[in-house]
Amino acid sequence: MLSGVIRPQRRVLEMNGNVLDIVGLKKYFELKKDRLFSKPKYVRAVDGVTFSVGEREVFGLVGETGCGKTTIGRLVVRLERPTEGSIFFQGTDIAGLAGGELKKFRRKMQMIFQDPYASLNPRMTVSQWVVEPLRNYQMGTPEEMADRTLKALEDAGLRPVEEYLERFPHELSGGERQRVSIARALVVDPAFIVADEPVSMLDVSIRAGVMQLLLGLREKYGMAFILITHDISVARYMSDRMAVMYLGKIVEMADTEGVIKEPLHPYTRALIKAVPVADPTRERTPLPLTGEMPSALERPSGCVFRTRCVYATDICAEREPSLVEVKDGHMCACHLVERGEI
């Protein structure tokens, strides 16, 4: 929720207690084509997304593969540069920053990746890997760096910590590797973490442990999280609020229980129907999705979801629905929901 006043000239927001205010964020990737014979084509990976993340809030980004979740994560920690839009981090727009200006903010925003096997350096021990960011940012004396490293590993649940320090990634389980990645993010004391599918490659038996760990860290370190997941039950477990994405756009956004118990958008209703998280006592209309998700290159006119929507009517092809507040803080982008027709 944007309670601040945007002043584009100054590129700062009034203090509003949010860690992040994302406004009209877009990322179009140009596909490399032979420019001589064809016009350049763009994948609209993120197509005008606005949301905020409050202090200590876990904000879930949910949707099927390819809807633009990872791209948002990479934009927010500025691994990618946006095509358009603003990313206010504690009030300062970091969307256009580069070099030394950007470096001032980098440490405060960390990302944890999906694949615990690919995200560690196979030639570095656990202690070398976790202390490295402290060296890069020259954070403290060698003794302070050692202390911080031990604390981060312990806080990530790798105990007794001495048993892990000299191990290489191949000597760790998947869950332990993910905890090492978490320790490396924690060690620099970030203001927020983007966790991109943090448990989807882990055995089901150890997922709950890693999810609880992340939630505990939010309290202990006072951090905010963007939780990216294709699995709405993971978002339900972890997030305070969530946004449901479809083809680069947010189609619904509300507090988590609002989305789960009273999903408004036909896409969210279908997602919830597909996983056993819904309240079994409530009657639900069957909502099969028709067809496949269209390619990000061949976007439908009007509403991006209409080609798979069982309710779609003429207006859905003609006009794009805006994300509007349908009831208290519950936002939805659907003509029919807005008119109270479904």
Ligand X SMILES: Nc1ncnc2c1ncn2[C@@H]1O[C@H](COP(=O)(O)OP(=O)(O)O)[C@@H](O)[C@H]1O
- Residue from 23, 25, 49, 67 touching ligand X (CB under 6 A): that is 67
CB 236 within 8 A of CB 254: no
CB 235 within 8 A of CB 60: yes
- Residue from 20, 49, 69, 306 touching ligand X (CB under 6 A): that is 69
Cα–Cα distance between 234 and 195 in angstroms, integer?
12
Query: Which lies closer to ligand X via its Cβ, residue 68 or residue 133?
Result: 68
Residue type for position 224: A
Q: Which does 43 bind (CB under 5 to 8 A by kind): Mg ion, ligand X, none?
A: ligand X
Smallest distance, Å, CB 70 to Mg ion?
A: 3
Of 35-43, 67-75, 123-131, 138-146, which part binds Mg ion (CB under 5 A)? Answer: 67-75
Contact set for ligand X, span 17-46 (CB under 6 A): 29, 43, 45
Cα–Cα distance between 218 and 195 in angstroms, integer?
12
Q: Which does 334 bind (CB under 5 to 8 A by kind): Mg ion, ligand X, none?
A: none
Cα 171 to Cα 6, 86, 98, 175, 222: the distances in Å are: 50, 42, 38, 12, 31
Q: Which phi and psi angles does 241 have, rounded to 5°?
A: -130, 160
Task: Count the Cβ atoms, other than its own, within 10 Å of residue 151.
Answer: 14
- Residue from 22, 23, 67, 70 touching Mg ion (CB under 5 A): that is 70
Q: Does 114 bind ligand X (CB under 6 A)?
A: no
Cα 179 to Cα 1, 268, 334: the distances in Å are: 32, 31, 40
- Residue from 296, 304, 326, 332 touching ligand X (CB under 6 A): that is 296
Q: Which does 67 bind (CB under 5 to 8 A by kind): Mg ion, ligand X, none?
A: ligand X
Site of interaction with ligand X (CB under 6 A): 29, 43, 45, 63, 65-71, 296
